[in-house]
């Protein structure tokens, strides 16, 4: 009746998951009750859960990412603690079966449920605004994509309470991940969660490529798009290209596990090397999916806070597309040591070094953007400079690793671990924090507290270096990754420094929460009245903060690069806004519960598959199909926003902007 699900699945005998589960359940319950009693539930349902508004969906993605960041960091500090304690005779506090689940969960969560949603959240919020349009190409699909991602996150979190997680690392290599060596539910949780969220991600990819290629403001040709939109395009092209391969390889592993197929098994002719190959065909583009939008964020921040146009716009575009293309030609560098031989290793090694060149072009362009500008040292600029210092070193260690003979020495050592954390934290995370500070006022109408923002930066910057610089040294000394027990006591001081670093990062994360609460409490002191708190250059700063549901009363005409900047300078020079346009009623897509209901059935079906509850799995599939058909039958797709409302909001915006113009001319 319940497959292999029994009461034993609940970790009554394991204190850490048990206590965590209880705390999380109590906290979630408390928040749920508080929301209900305060009457926020209908608001949340209408404004966020069923919303087809790209801005709301973007915010939901980022909230999910920040919550999962806490769990990912908790895994990290547990690993650091174990490695500091388990030296010599001591076995630490985490037996191998638990330690292995923790490093697997840490990687899976950080890549799939922190970095990806955070990046996708930004693309959601920013791209339509920067393109000067009202929403993405497929708003309902956007909602569905978010909820499918959330279903995946839910399943990963359920694995802590019910059952166990995979012990096979964040990529689940066979034969370890095969049924013979991992008979429990852990790998199944991993596979099902990633498959469900993977569908959501592919749909996001289709949505954004279509939006960027087909839905832009009048006059915005390709070479007038902001660089963030170019990087979003490249990233989503990679999503469309790479995620189907992930779907296939995870499905093949599922077939091995569930139906006894022999894709990657040791017997029956299976070939586990095929898994490595295919998973990295996905895995390498994946990291570029993360880092390209991050580069886009840096481009926006550099230009805005230097008060200068981005240096070398066309070379940036070209470099972005070059990185997009080459990133699909380097994947073997993740398994130089698997035995393809010198010739193939050389091809991929050279390609891996070549990809550093367009990245270097970008670094120079950011430097030249800042050079000769009047740089304002707001918090996003701290992250930008921190990125340049951190990421360049990470990139250099990457070029080092791209040399096969070097890689043979340090493959899968802590040197590698330090490298990829350096590029992901220095490259992606720092950008996400910069973007969070930069676009927060646009989303919520007030800026975040700058002082705490700088503390957060220093915690991350110092914490990161303390946590990972020692790992380079340890890697050269022969320390491999994923060690539950440390054989060499001379490594202890280095690991202890790393532990302190991880703890300082934790302080940074805690301060992020503090900053948010404090900023909300004192928001009256930092209201974003004009909608343009940073003297921005791109179209999202044309709107008030937060923008109306439909973004722009009238889609802006774009006449050149930096559409908003030129328009603003003209207004300042002429001391007047452009002529009032002719307002029309606006059609916007309606809200829909389709996404959350489909995701519910997907999660149900996924849970049932994991626990072998076949009748429930079929029910889930039927439910998902039924809601899909129900959705397809609806007749109301859009609602009309009356012209009076459009006109009222627009005139309010114009009034505020005129006042701001007058203040500017008076202060001159």
Partner 1 sequence: MTAGTEAPTLGLTHQASEDTGLGHRGPQSKSIVVPYGFWLFVLSDMVLFSALFASYASLVHATDGGPTTSQLFDRKLVAVETMALLISSFVCGLAMITAKRKNMVWTQVWLVMTGLLGLVFLGIELHEFSTMIAEGAGPQRSAFLSSFFTLVGCHGAHVTAGLLWLGTMMAQIWNKGFQEHIMRRLLCFSVFWHALDIIWVAIFTIVYLIGTLP
Partner 2 sequence: MTELDPEKLNVAPGVPHDSMLSETVSYVVGLGLALVLTGVSFWVASTGTLWGPGVATGLVVLAIAQMGVHLVFFLHITSGPDNTNNVLALAFGVLIVLLVMIGTIFIMAHMNSNMMPDPTQMNLQMQH
Question: Using CB atoms within 10 A of its CB, is residue 494 exposed (0-12), middle (13-18) or buried (19+)?
Answer: buried
Closest CA to 122 of 301, 365, 317: 301
Q: Kindly identify the residues of this chain, within the stretch 527-546, that bind partner 1 according to CB under 8 A.
A: none
Give whichever of 119 and 278 is closer to partner 2, judged by the CB atom. 278
Q: What is the closest distance, in whole angstroms, from the C-beta atom of residue 390 to partner 2 in the complex?
A: 31
Find which of partner 2, partner 1, none residue 636 binds, CB within 5 to 8 Å per kind.
none
Give the tokens for residue 597: 């209901």
- 133 secondary structure, DSSP code: S
Which range of residues in 175-183, 219-227, 353-361, 463-471 is near partner 1 by CB under 8 A? 219-227
Closest CA to 172 of 113, 104, 97, 265: 104
Classify 263 in phi/psi space as left (phi over 0), alpha (psi -120 to 50) or beta: alpha
Give whichever of 57 and 238 is closer to partner 2, judged by the CB atom. 238
Which range of residues in 23-31, 303-311, 449-457, 624-632 is near partner 1 by CB under 8 A? 624-632
- Could you give the count of Cα atoms lying within 13 Å of 136 in the half-sphere of its Cβ? 33
Beta-strand ranges (E) seen in 520-598 are 586-589
Which range of residues in 129-137, 264-272, 430-438, 547-555 is near partner 2 by CB under 8 A? 264-272
Q: What is the closest distance, in whole angstroms, from the C-beta atom of residue 545 to partner 1 in the complex?
A: 21
Pick the binder of partner 1 from 281, 302, 433, 627 (CB under 8 A). Answer: 281
Percentages of the chain per state (helix, strand, coil), in multiples of 5? 70, 0, 25
DSSP secondary structure of 401-468: HTSHHHHHHHTTBHHHHHHHHHHIIIIIIHHHHHHHHHHHHHHHSBPPPHHHHHHHHHHHHHHHHHHH
Is 221 a binding residue for partner 2 by CB under 8 A? The answer is no
Which range of residues in 250-258, 335-343, 378-386, 422-430 is near partner 1 by CB under 8 A? 250-258
Phi, psi of 640 (to 5 degrees): -100, 135
Closest CA to 232 of 70, 398, 54: 54
- Could you give the count of Cα atoms lying within 13 Å of 20 in the half-sphere of its Cβ? 18
Does an H or E element contain 640, and which? strand 638-641
Question: Using CB atoms within 10 A of its CB, is residue 159 exposed (0-12), middle (13-18) or buried (19+)?
Answer: buried
Find which of partner 1, partner 2, none residue 266 binds, CB within 5 to 8 Å per kind.
partner 2
Q: What is the closest distance, in whole angstroms, from the C-beta atom of residue 183 to partner 2 in the complex?
A: 15
Question: Using CB atoms within 10 A of its CB, is residue 88 exposed (0-12), middle (13-18) or buried (19+)?
Answer: exposed
Is 229 a binding residue for partner 2 by CB under 8 A? The answer is no
Find which of partner 1, partner 2, none residue 287 binds, CB within 5 to 8 Å per kind.
none
**Residue 121 CB coordination number (10 Å):** 25
Q: End-to-end CA distance of the chain: give it in Å, rounded.
A: 77
Is 53 a binding residue for partner 1 by CB under 8 A? The answer is no
Closest CA to 233 of 289, 297, 284: 289
Q: What is the closest distance, in whole angstroms, from the C-beta atom of residue 297 to partner 2 in the complex?
A: 25
Q: How far is CA 657 from CA 128, 173, 183, 534, in A?
A: 22, 57, 64, 14
Find which of partner 2, partner 1, none residue 625 binds, CB within 5 to 8 Å per kind.
partner 1
Give the tokens for residue 196: 């469900």
Q: Kindly identify the residues of this chain, within the stretch 124-153, that bind partner 1 according to CB under 8 A.
A: 133-135, 137-139
Pick the binder of partner 1 from 99, 430, 468, 550 (CB under 8 A). Answer: 550
Give whichever of 267 and 579 is closer to partner 2, judged by the CB atom. 267
Whole-angstrom distance, CA of residue 245 vs CA of residue 248: 5
Is 582 a binding residue for partner 1 by CB under 8 A? The answer is yes
| Number of residues located near partner 1, criterion CB under 8 A | 70
Pick the binder of partner 1 from 95, 360, 493, 581 (CB under 8 A). Answer: 581
- 579 secondary structure, DSSP code: P
Pick the binder of partner 1 from 39, 42, 269, 339 (CB under 8 A). Answer: 269
Pick the binder of partner 2 from 20, 247, 266, 480 (CB under 8 A). Answer: 266
Which range of residues in 71-79, 277-285, 598-606, 619-627 is near partner 2 by CB under 8 A? 277-285
Find which of partner 2, partner 1, none residue 138 binds, CB within 5 to 8 Å per kind.
partner 1
Is 255 a binding residue for partner 1 by CB under 8 A? The answer is yes
State how far Cα 503 lies from the chain centre. 22
Give the tokens for residue 11: 């970790």
Closest CA to 183 of 96, 272, 97, 269: 97
Radius of gyration of the chain (CA): 25
Pick the binder of partner 2 from 35, 344, 396, 513 (CB under 8 A). Answer: 344
Which range of residues in 173-181, 363-371, 475-483, 581-589 is near partner 1 by CB under 8 A? 581-589
Q: What is the closest distance, in whole angstroms, from the C-beta atom of residue 224 to partner 1 in the complex?
A: 8
Whole-angstrom distance, CA of residue 35 vs CA of residue 31: 6
- Mark residues 238-257: x for contact with partner 2 by CB under 8 A, - for none: ---x---x------------
Q: Kindly identify the residues of this chain, within the stretch 284-343, that bind partner 2 according to CB under 8 A.
A: 328-329, 331-332, 338-341, 343
Pick the binder of partner 1 from 29, 88, 218, 342 (CB under 8 A). Answer: 218
Give whichever of 32 and 560 is closer to partner 1, judged by the CB atom. 560
Q: How far is CA 418 from CA 97, 431, 471, in A?
A: 24, 19, 6
Find which of partner 2, partner 1, none residue 559 binds, CB within 5 to 8 Å per kind.
partner 1
Q: How far is CA 474 from CA 85, 157, 469, 498, 567, in A?
A: 16, 32, 9, 11, 54
Pick the binder of partner 2 from 271, 315, 530, 566 (CB under 8 A). Answer: 271
Is 74 a binding residue for partner 2 by CB under 8 A? The answer is no
Find which of partner 2, partner 1, none residue 584 binds, CB within 5 to 8 Å per kind.
partner 1
Catalog residues that contact partner 1 under the rule CB under 8 A. 133-135, 137-139, 202-203, 205-207, 209-210, 213-221, 240-241, 243-245, 247-249, 251-252, 255-256, 259-263, 265, 267-271, 274, 278, 281, 550, 554-555, 557-559, 581-582, 584-589, 625, 629, 632-633, 635, 637-638, 641
Catalog residues that contact partner 2 under the rule CB under 8 A. 213-214, 237, 241, 245, 266-267, 271, 273-274, 277-278, 281, 328-329, 331-332, 338-341, 343-344
């Amino acid at each position: 009746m319940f497959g292999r699900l029994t009461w034993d699945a609940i970790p009554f005998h394991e204190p850490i998951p048990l206590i965590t589960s209880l705390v999380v359940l109590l906290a979630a319950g408390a928040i749920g009750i508080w929301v209900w009693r305060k009457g926020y539930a209908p608001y949340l349902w209408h404004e966020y859960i069923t919303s087809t508004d790209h801005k709301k969906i973007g915010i939901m993605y980022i909230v999910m990412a920040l919550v999962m960041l806490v769990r990912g960091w908790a895994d990290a500090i547990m690993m650091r603690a174990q490695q500091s304690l388990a030296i010599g005779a001591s076995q630490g506090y985490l037996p191998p079966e638990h330690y292995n689940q923790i490093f697997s969960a840490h990687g899976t969560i950080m890549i799939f449920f922190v970095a990806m949603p955070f990046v996708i959240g930004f693309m959601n919020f920013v791209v339509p605004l920067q393109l000067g349009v009202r929403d993405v190409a497929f708003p309902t699909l956007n909602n569905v994509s978010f909820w499918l991602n959330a279903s995946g996150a839910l399943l990963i979190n359920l694995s802590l309470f019910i059952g166990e997680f995979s012990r096979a690392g964040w990529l689940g290599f066979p034969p370890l991940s095969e049924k013979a060596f991992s008979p429990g539910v852990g790998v199944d949780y991993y596979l099902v969660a990633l498959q469900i969220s993977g569908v959501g991600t592919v749909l996001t990819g289709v949505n954004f490529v279509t939006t960027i290629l087909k839905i832009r403001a009048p006059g915005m040709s390709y070479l007038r798009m902001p660089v963030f939109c170019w990087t979003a395009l490249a990233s989503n092209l990679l999503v469309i290209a790479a995620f189907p391969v992930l779907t296939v390889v995870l499905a093949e592993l599922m077939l091995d596990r569930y139906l006894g197929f022999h894709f990657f098994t040791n017997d029956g002719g299976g070939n586990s090397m095929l898994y490595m190959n295919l998973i990295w065909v996905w895995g390498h583009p994946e990291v570029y999916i993360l880092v390209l939008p991050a580069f886009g964020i840096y481009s926006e921040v550099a230009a805005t806070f230097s008060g200068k146009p981005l240096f070398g716009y066309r070379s940036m575009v070209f470099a972005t597309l070059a990185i997009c293309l080459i990133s699909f030609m380097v994947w073997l560098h993740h398994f130089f040591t698997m035995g393809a031989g010198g010739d193939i290793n050389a091809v991929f090694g050279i390609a891996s070094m070549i990809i550093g060149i367009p990245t270097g072009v970008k670094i120079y362009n950011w430097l030249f953007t800042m050079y000769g500008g009047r740089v304002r040292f707001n918090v996003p600029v701290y992250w930008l400079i921190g990125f340049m210092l951190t990421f360049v070193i990470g990139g250099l260690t990457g070029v080092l690793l791209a040399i096969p003979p070097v890689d043979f020495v340090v493959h899968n050592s802590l040197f590698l671990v330090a490298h990829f954390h350096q590029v992901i934290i220095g490259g992606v995370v720092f950008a996400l924090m910069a973007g969070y500070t930069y676009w927060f006022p646009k989303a919520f109408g007030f800026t975040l507290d700058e002082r705490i923002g700088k503390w957060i930066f220093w915690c991350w910057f110092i914490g990161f270096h303390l946590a990972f610089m020692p790992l380079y040294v340890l890697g050269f000394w022969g320390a491999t990754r994923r060690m539950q027990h440390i054989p060499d006591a001379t490594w202890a001081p280095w690991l202890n420094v790393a532990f302190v670093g991880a703890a300082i990062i934790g302080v940074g994360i805690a301060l992020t929460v503090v900053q948010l609460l404090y900023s909300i409490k004192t928001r009256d002191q930092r209201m974003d009245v004009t909608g343009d708190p940073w003297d921005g250059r791109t179209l999202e700063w044309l709107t008030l903060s937060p923008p109306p549901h439909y973004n722009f009363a009238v889609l802006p005409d774009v006449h050149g690069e930096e559409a908003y900047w030129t328009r603003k300078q003209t207004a300042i020079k002429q001391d007047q806004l452009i002529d009032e346009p002719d307002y029309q009623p606006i059609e916007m897509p309606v809200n829909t519960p389709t996404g959350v209901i489909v995701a519910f059935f997907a999660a149900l079906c996924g849970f049932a598959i994991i626990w072998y509850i076949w009748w429930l799995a079929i029910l889930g599939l039927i439910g998902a199909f039924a809601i899909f058909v129900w959705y397809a039958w609806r007749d109301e797709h859009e609602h009309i926003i009356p012209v009076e409302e459009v006109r009222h909001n627009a005139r309010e915006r114009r009034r505020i902007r005129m006042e701001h113009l007058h203040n500017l001319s008076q202060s001159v």
